[in-house]
Structure 1
């Protein structure tokens, strides 16, 4: 993938569990881990309707350079909107080591 296509900045978040002061269950806190260049594309209306027909809530697609530290437990923020990763990252068609594609769904 050409670097010029990666023109959007996204922030990757990981859930960090901190125990409550009273010793109860821990509350996950979303902490920013890194800021990366990406190709962020909201899905078209046609793609959203097809995703809903397949019982998926996918709303956007994000392409990043190949990484192994991002999985379905991470979250992505783009322009103030938080997205959960829907499924495992998809490798590229050529070598599988150039870039990954993340299917994203909105979270509040």
Structure 2
């Protein structure tokens, strides 16, 4: 996969632990950067958005990333940071159809409200 096909930088983050605020006692989740990688991020077409809504899905975009051993470990407990927004990873990454070792596609859905 050529670098020119991956024009965007995304950061994959992993939940580290819950930290308790000493003043309020409230638990907040701490996220750490796992990897920053090149990707081709594209919004869903109107047709795809309508199909997703019909299935009660909140998928907004897809990110195509280069396959690597580290990238193959991405899962739904992680999140994606892109252009200041946070996205949930909806389902496990899907492999390319030919070699299954060229690229992975991440389905990105609306991030949780508390992630802002």
Quote the residue 1:97 is aligned against. 101
CA root-mean-square deviation: 1.9
Structure 1: runs of 5 or more not aligned? none
Q: Distance in 1 between matches of 2:37 and 2:48?
A: 25
C-alpha distance in 2, partners of 1:18/1:98? 35
TM-score, scaled relative to structure 1: 0.87
Is 1:55 aligned to residue 56 of structure 2? Answer: yes
1:74 counterpart residue number:
78
- Following TM superposition, by how much is the alpha carbon of 1:102 offset from its aligned partner in structure 2, in angstroms? 0.5
Q: Which runs of 4+ in 1 moved over 4 A?
A: 24-27
Q: Which structure shows the higher helix fraction?
A: 2
Q: Deviations over 1:65-87 (max 9, x none)?
A: 11222111110111111000000
Query: How far apart, CA to CA, are the structure 2 residues paired with 1:21 and 1:47?
Result: 41
Asked if structure 2 preserves the Cα contact closer than 8 Å seen for 1:17 and 1:26, the reply is: no
| TM-score w.r.t. length of structure 2 | 0.82
